Structure 1
């Protein structure tokens, strides 16, 4: 069904969920997946003596994450490639999806509070207003157990 998939991937647990869901979508060996990492310059720039730059280790670490994701997808039969872009994530995802004529864009869902979502915005919500194609927002399963340990009171203690 989907022949060209764009997966916005950052190596986070939300990104890993999106990658896992793309793995399960394999419909044919003719499907191509492009893993896209976007380095948001507003969050990753260092300013030293009036000069701004993105640290080399940031790009290197991002490329390692993408390479691991590409390997994983190739093992299940996808033709997978990767790309790193700089700028606003929503804008870059929209631009690349249109450039490659994607059939599907896949994003991880980052659970943010209302204030954080208002301040930071939501990439998925932004893309949803003018989608370049179908959009899958991968949400983690709710079956995961709560990791909070209840406080126990010792009944026999005095």
Structure 2
């Protein structure tokens, strides 16, 4: 079904949920997975004396996160590669998916309020405007069990 999966992965809790769901799919489909981390240059640049640069440790940290993800896929018996790109996340994800001929893009769902989503935008929503293939937005499962015991209802009395 899905032989090439692109996973946008940043190591966040939302990204880890996307990784878990992509791992399940990839192992069942025998897919190759490409983990992609995007450094948004606009948010990562330091400006000093008319020079801009991206801190080198950020690239090191992202590579370490990607390597961890690749190892997890390899332990599951999948082929996995990784890459760091720079630019706007949605644009880079779509571009990478087209270049590799991905059949599925997997991204995490960052739970933001309406105002935050309006101000910051949504990568998943932006990808859906120009998808080169199917898109899975991985959402964390809701807790179904409650630690609060239900209030016992009194038994109805019968009239004799």
After TM superposition, the score normalised by the length of structure 1 is 0.89
State the match for 1:91 in structure 2.
Answer: 91
State the match for 1:154 in structure 2.
Answer: none
> How many pairs align?
146
> Cα offset for 1:17?
0.2
Work out which of the two has the higher radius of gyration on C-alpha atoms and give 1 or 2.
2
State the match for 1:62 in structure 2.
Answer: 62
- Give the whole-Å Cα distance in 2 for the aligned partners of 1:4 and 1:112: 29
Q: 1:120 to 1:145 in 2, by over 3 A?
A: farther
State the match for 1:127 in structure 2.
Answer: 127
Which structure 1 residue ranges, 4+ long, deviate > 4 Å from structure 2?
Answer: 144-147
Q: 1:7 to 1:146 in 2, by over 3 A?
A: farther
> Cα offset for 1:48?
1.5
User: Unpaired segments of 5 or more residues in structure 1?
Assistant: 148-158
Contact 1:21 1:138 in 2 (8 A): yes
User: Unpaired segments of 5 or more residues in structure 2?
Assistant: 148-160
Contact 1:17 1:139 in 2 (8 A): yes
After TM superposition, the score normalised by the length of structure 2 is 0.87
- Give the whole-Å Cα distance in 1 for the aligned partners of 2:130 and 2:55: 32
- Give the whole-Å Cα distance in 2 for the aligned partners of 1:23 and 1:79: 11
SS of 1:27's partner is helix
